[in-house]
């Protein structure tokens, strides 16, 4: 690559201009006075006892701003489908590289995988008690599959099960929202009993742990699908080029 | 009956798309879904406004969907366009078979759901989520033709859209840092208390973010490429639903935050430049899709000029023009889908190379309506806008719109002359029964609103009142008396 051609005068001017803008932006931010209002965050902290969950962040994410989470799950789902739509067209050669994985890698990755999945499930289920939750736990579960792919590129996931997990958990989430509408006339209303006395126990908080488990299944299966698509894409392209 | 259905039903539909094994079932249920949502909107037109649907807890802490007069008009346009496009799609996929048709319905329904979410949500962060949903759907749909043009438009839209959303996130962050809330009602109450320096920054960022998406002049260079690369029904949706949703949000925030007195002239000038530049660029386009993309940009320019005036008459006229423009552009792009399929070209010559009396008539109707010629609905919209400008003694704007419209007239009459030219070689085009019905309904609406404008004027007056005097909206957004 020719460096001289890449570094033109206009690029230098442009970068100088944007750094000047960034500096003035930061200078403006430095002068910002702290606000005089109580932020929504403080009010939510005070309201947290109502939801009977030990983790205040979880009650904000899944309950107070629950529709945002439905939206975020949808964004992730749309992104996965977009990746699938774009990558499914690549020409796939039937020729497969038969690469024998080493024994140590085989055993090691499988041993580690079960531990990682267990850890992910723990994070999902304890989302309303300790830091973490559906999104974080779901990603941890997906890393277990990433490990398997790195150890053995010939492996493939069962798409039926992944699609089932993805579709059913997402639809169940929306159904939970709609049941709230029918029972309490509020979408996503907490229609399950959530006595404050049970705070800190595994079964507490009404619909909040249910939602987080559904989110965990959805995120886990979607991230695994994305990982598989990208890894297989790279793999097939290498084969195709060679 | 709940406003939440507008978002939750399409979501559940798109989650379940992998299980529609038969493509016919998927097509039928997509039509059914859009029909249900349209019928629900019709029921809402008969109810007292505003209507509210709560999520989890009451606003201002929680999030709610609020339907007032302003959003009702847009809801009608969006659900109607959704229904028309979903009725059109079975023909389109029969003509252009695709293996991944199921994924189209997924993104199409979520595109409409995201746009509706943007106009209903009363929480600025929630609005941003819907902004992202609409964004991702439009990036994917613009790349749905996986050829060179399609992929170019997808990547371009992805990059531009992501930059726009970064600006909006920053603006929301600054708002939250300043006044500690993301509820639109509370922001509207407290916006004037923000330090003027920061408030200029916030307004600038919101302007860049939503202006880019709403295709305003310095940031709209990407739009014609997107239109060129994507399939025709998606063009129709971009023009009649997505661009209009961003325009809705732009002016909703503009009036709620009380920016109208300070920034009115600024938005009006930007709108005027958009109109001028787009119409002149449209003059020498050779690709039909680029031509009508530039025409859409020009009409958006007029709308931005008229919406920023802070007078009920002008805004009501602008809403009328917006509705009629949505219908006309949907009709034009759906017809282009038929012509491009039959004549296998996107050159402007295809408009002169087909033989079908029906298509000629509906196209001429929609062209004349966009131009603003009686007795079509575009005329009423444009004359109301001009009347509003004249009543507020802004004669410069009247002269400007009329003069630039001449440029618009040049290319539209050139096309009409080409279509009526008998000496050209013609290909006979058969329109399917369903397409006959869809295009006839759209053309009939254009004529109907042109002859009986009071049908639509009722809703546009309601919408203009709700936009300029949002007191009712604010009481609901603040959760007073719930």
Asked whether the predicted pLDDT for residue B105 surpasses 80, the reply is yes
DSSP letter assigned to residue B117 = H
pLDDT > 80? residue A93: no
Q: Are B12 and A171 in contact (CB < 8 Å)?
A: yes
Kindly give the pairing relationship between strand B51-55 and strand B63-67.
antiparallel
* The predicted structure's pLDDT at residue A98: 58
Does residue A32 carry a pLDDT above 80? no
Q: What is the pLDDT of residue A49?
A: 80
Quick one: pLDDT at residue B451? Answer: 93
Contact residues on chain B for A187, CB-CB shorter than 8 A: 2, 4, 8, 53-56
- Write down the residue that tokens 């008229």 correspond to: B306
Domains in chain A: boundaries:
1-32, 43-241
- Mean pLDDT confidence for A221-233: 85
Query: Looking at residue B53, what DSSP letter applies?
Result: E
Residue A202 has pLDDT above 50, yes or no: yes
- The answer to whether residue A5 scores a pLDDT higher than 80 is no
Lookup: tokens for B7: 């978002």
When mean pLDDT is compared across B262-271, B390-399, B414-423, the lowest value belongs to B414-423
Q: How many CB pairs under 8 A join A and B?
A: 146
Distance from CA of A236 to the nearest CA of B (A): 18
Could you give the percent of chain B with pLDDT greater than 70?
100
B134-163 mean pLDDT: 92
User: How many percent of chain A have pLDDT more than 90?
Assistant: 29
Q: Which residues of A touch B179 (CB under 8 A)?
A: 35, 37
CB contact under 8 A, B61 and A163: no
Q: What is the CA radius of gyration of chain B?
A: 21
Mean pLDDT of chain B, nearest integer? 91
The answer to whether residue B482 sits within a structural domain is no
Contact A38 B180 (CB under 8 A): yes
How far off is chain A from B177, nearest CA to CA, in Å? 7
Whether pLDDT at A91 is above 80: no
CA distance B459 to chain A (A): 28
What integer is the mean pLDDT of A126-138?
A: 89
Query: Which chain A residues have a beta carbon less than 8 Å from that of B126?
Result: 65, 67-68, 71
- What pLDDT shows up at residue A4? 61
Which run of H or E residues covers position B247?
helix B243-256
Q: Do B140 and A82 touch (CB under 8 A)?
A: yes
Q: Which of A82, A171, A185 is the closest to B15 by Cβ?
A: A171
Residues 180-199 of A with CB under 8 A from B: 181, 185-190
Which residues in chain B have their CB less than 8 angstroms from residue A68's CB? 63, 125-126, 129
CB-based contact B129 A72, cutoff 8 Å: yes
Question: At A94, is the pLDDT very low, low, confident or very high (cuts 50, 70, 90)?
Answer: very low
Residues of B in contact with A163 (CB under 8 A): 18
- Burial (CB < 10 A; 0-12, 13-18, 19+), residue B316, is buried
Cβ–Cβ < 8 Å for A231, A83: no
DSSP state of B452: -
Q: What is the pLDDT of residue A242?
A: 40
Number of domains in chain B: 1
- Residues of chain B neighbouring A211 (CB-CB closer than 8 A): none
The whole-angstrom distance between residue B84's C-alpha and the CA centroid of its chain comes to 14
A85 touches chain B (CB under 8 A): yes
pLDDT average, residue stretch B147-157:
91
Among B2, B103, B177, the residue with its CB nearest the CB of A35 is B177
A66-70, A103-107, A123-127, B120-124 — which is least confidently predicted? Answer: A103-107
Indicate if the pLDDT at residue A120 is higher than 50: yes
Mean pLDDT, rounded, for B395-399 = 93
Residue-level pLDDT at B48:
87
Exposure of B322 by Cβ count < 10 A (0-12 exposed, 13-18 middle, 19+ buried)?
Answer: buried
In this predicted structure, the answer to whether residue A180 has a pLDDT above a threshold of 80 is: yes
Please check whether residue A24 touches B, CB under 8 A. Answer: no
Give me the half-sphere count of Cα atoms (radius 13 Å) on the Cβ side of residue A102.
Answer: 4
Across the range A78-106, mean pLDDT stands at 73
Structure confidence by residue, pLDDT tens digits, B73-86: 999 999 999 999 99
User: pLDDT exceeding 90 applies to what percent of chain B?
Assistant: 70
Interface test with B, best of A28, A33, A34, A40 (most B CBs within 10 A): A40
For residue B209, give its domain range.
5-477
Is residue B427 helix, strand or coil? strand
| Secondary structure (H, E, C), chain A | CCHHHHCCHHHHHHHHHHHHHHHHHHHHHHCCCCCCCCCHHHHHHHHHHHHCCCCHHHHHHHHHCHHHHHHHHHHHHHHHHHHHHHHCCCCCCCCCCCCCCCHHHHHHHHHHHHHHHHHHHHHHHCCCCCCCCHHHHHHHHHHHHHHHHHHCCCCCCCHHHHHHHHHHHHHHHHHHHHHHHHHHCCECCCCCCCCHHHCCCCCCCCHHHHHHHHHHHHHHHHHHHHHHHHHHHHHHHHHHHC
Are B73 and B323 in contact by the 8 Å Cβ rule? The answer is: yes
Q: How does pLDDT run across B364-379, given as a tens digit for each residue?
A: 999 999 998 888 999 9
Residue of A nearest to B60 (CA): A40
DSSP string, B362-416: HHHHHHHHHHT-TTSHHHHHHHHHHHHHHHTT-HHHHHHHHHHHHHHHHHHHHHH
Residues of B in contact with A181 (CB under 8 A): 2, 4
Q: Give residues 154 to 173 of A whose Cβ lies within 8 Å of B.
A: 163, 166-167, 170-171
B118: nearest CA partner in chain A? A71
Q: Is the pLDDT of residue B284 over 70?
A: yes
Contact assignment for B133 to A71 by CB distance below 8 Å: yes
Residue B245 is predicted with a pLDDT of: 95
Please tell me the predicted confidence (pLDDT) of residue A239: 47
Amino acid A87: pLDDT: 81
More confident residue, A95 or B12: B12
- Residue A234 has what pLDDT? 59
Least confident of A35-44, B16-25, B251-260: A35-44
Q: What is the distance in angstroms between the Cα of A199 and the nearest Cα belonging to chain B? A: 19
Cβ contact B15–A38 (<8 Å): no
Question: For residue A127, what are the contacts with CB-CB under 8 A and spacing of at least 6?
Answer: A55, A58, A133, A134, A137, A209, A212, A213, A216
pLDDT at A34 over 80: no
Higher confidence at residue A53 or residue B276? B276
- Interchain pair B16, A71: CB under 8 A: no
Write phi, then psi, for B250 (nearest 5 degrees).
-50, -50
Are B139 and A177 an interchain contact pair (Cβ–Cβ within 8 Å)? no
Q: pLDDT value at position B29?
A: 94
Q: A173 to chain B nearest CA, in Å? A: 9
Q: Who wins on pLDDT, A102 or B300?
A: B300
Which residue out of A37, A74, A84 would a mutagenesis test of the B interface target, given it has the greatest number of B Cβ atoms within 10 Å? A74
Q: Where does the pLDDT of residue A240 fall: very low under 50, low under 70, confident under 90, or very high at 90 and above?
A: very low
pLDDT of residue B386: 94
Q: Is the pLDDT of residue B192 over 80?
A: yes
Distance CA B63, CA B53 (A): 9
Residue A73 has a pLDDT of 92
Indicate yes or no: CB of B177 within 8 angstroms of CB of A32: yes
Contact: A32, B195; criterion CB under 8 Å = yes
Interchain contact, B61 vs A181, CB within 8 Å: no
| Mean pLDDT, residues B417-431 taken together | 84
A174 touches chain B (CB under 8 A): yes
User: CA B66 to CA B12: how far, in whole Å?
Assistant: 21
Ranking A89-103, B272-286, B318-332, B361-375 by mean pLDDT, the lowest is: A89-103
Residue B15 to residue A170, Cβ atoms within 8 A: yes
Q: What is the pLDDT confidence band of residue A35, given thresholds at 50, 70 and 90?
A: low
* B201–A82 C-beta distance less than 8 A: no
User: Using an 8 Å Cβ cutoff, are A50 and B56 in contact?
Assistant: no
Q: What ipTM was estimated for this complex?
A: 0.91
Q: How confident is the model at residue A99 (pLDDT cuts 50, 70, 90)?
A: low
- What is the tens place of the pLDDT at every residue in B3-54? 999 999 999 999 998 888 888 999 999 999 999 999 999 999 998 888 998 8
φ/ψ of B69, rounded to 5, equals -55, -40
- Identify the residue among A78, A194, A217 best suited for mutation to test binding to B, counting B beta carbons within 10 A and taking the highest: A78
């Amino acid at each position: 690559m020719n460096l001289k051609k890449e570094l033109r005068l206009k690029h230098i001017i442009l970068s100088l201009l944007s750094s000047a803008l960034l500096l003035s932006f930061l200078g403006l931010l430095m002068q910002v006075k702290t606000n005089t209002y109580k932020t929504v965050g403080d009010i939510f902290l005070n309201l947290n006892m109502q939801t009977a969950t030990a983790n205040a962040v979880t009650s904000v994410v899944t309950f107070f701003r629950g529709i945002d989470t439905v939206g975020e799950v949808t964004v992730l789902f749309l992104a996965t489908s977009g990746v699938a739509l774009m990558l499914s067209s690549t020409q796939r050669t039937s020729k497969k590289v038969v690469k024998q994985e080493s024994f140590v890698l085989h055993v090691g990755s499988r041993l580690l995988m079960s531990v990682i999945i267990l850890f992910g499930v723990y994070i999902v289920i304890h989302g309303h008690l300790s830091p973490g939750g559906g999104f974080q736990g779901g990603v941890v579960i997906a890393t277990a599959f990433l490990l398997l792919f790195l150890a053995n590129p010939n492996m493939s996931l069962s798409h039926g099960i992944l699609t089932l997990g993805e579709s059913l958990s997402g639809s169940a989430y929306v159904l939970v929202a709609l049941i709230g509408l029918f029972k309490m006339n509020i979408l996503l209303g907490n229609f399950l009993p959530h006595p404050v006395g049970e705070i800190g126990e595994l079964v507490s908080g009404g619909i909040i742990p249910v939602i987080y488990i559904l989110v965990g299944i959805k995120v886990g299966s979607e991230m695994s699908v994305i990982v598989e698509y990208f890894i297989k894409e790279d793999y097939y392209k290498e084969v195709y080029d060679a | 009956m709940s406003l939440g259905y507008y978002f939750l039903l399409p979501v559940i539909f798109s989650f379940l798309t992998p299980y529609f094994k038969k493509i016919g079932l998927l097509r039928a249920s997509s039509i059914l879904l859009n029909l249900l949502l349209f019928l629900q909107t019709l029921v809402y037109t008969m109810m007292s406004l505003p209507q509210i649907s709560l999520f989890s807890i009451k606003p201002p802490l929680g999030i709610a969907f609020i339907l007032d007069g302003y959003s009702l008009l847009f809801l009608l346009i969006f659900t109607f366009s959704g229904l028309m496009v979903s009725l059109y799609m079975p023909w389109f996929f029969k003509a252009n078979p695709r293996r991944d048709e199921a994924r189209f319905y997924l993104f199409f329904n979520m595109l409409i759901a995201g746009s509706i979410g943007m106009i209903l949500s009363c929480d600025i962060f929630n609005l941003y989520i819907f902004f992202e949903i609409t964004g991702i759907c439009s990036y994917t749909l613009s790349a749905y033709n996986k050829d060179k043009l399609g992929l170019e438009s997808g990547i371009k839209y992805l990059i531009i859209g992501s930059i726009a959303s970064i600006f909006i996130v920053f603006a929301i962050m600054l708002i939250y840092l300043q006044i500690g809330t993301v509820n639109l009602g509370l922001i509207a109450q407290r916006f004037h208390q923000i330090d003027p320096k920061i408030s200029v920054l916030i307004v600038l960022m919101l302007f860049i973010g939503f202006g880019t998406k709403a295709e305003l002049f310095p940031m709209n260079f990407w739009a014609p490429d997107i239109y060129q690369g994507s399939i025709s029904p998606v063009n129709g949706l971009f023009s009649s639903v997505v661009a209009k949703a961003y325009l809705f949000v732009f002016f909703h925030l503009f009036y709620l935050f009380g920016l109208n007195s300070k920034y009115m002239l600024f938005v009006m000038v930007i709108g005027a430049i958009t109109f001028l530049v787009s119409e002149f660029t449209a003059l020498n386009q050779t690709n039909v899709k680029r031509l009508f993309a530039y025409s859409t940009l020009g009409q958006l320019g007029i709308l931005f000029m008229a919406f920023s005036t802070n007078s009920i008459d002008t805004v009501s006229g602008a809403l009328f023009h917006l509705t009629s423009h949505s219908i006309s552009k949907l009709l034009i792009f759906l017809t282009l889908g038929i012509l491009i399929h039959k004549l296998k070209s996107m050159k402007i010559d295809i408009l002169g190379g087909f033989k079908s009396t029906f298509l000629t008539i509906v196209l001429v109707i929609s062209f004349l309506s966009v131009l603003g010629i009686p007795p079509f609905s575009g005329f009423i919209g444009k004359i109301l806008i001009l009347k509003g400008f004249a009543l507020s003694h802004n004669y410069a704007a009247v002269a400007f719109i009329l003069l630039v419209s001449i440029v618009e007239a040049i290319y539209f009459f050139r096309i009409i002359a080409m279509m009526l030219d008998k000496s050209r070689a013609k290909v006979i085009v058969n329109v399917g029964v369903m397409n006959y019905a869809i295009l006839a309904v759209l053309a009939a609406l254009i004529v109907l609103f042109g002859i009986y404008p009071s049908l639509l004027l009722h809703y546009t007056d309601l919408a203009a009142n709700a936009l300029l005097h949002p007191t009712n909206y604010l009481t609901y957004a603040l959760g007073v008396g719930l």
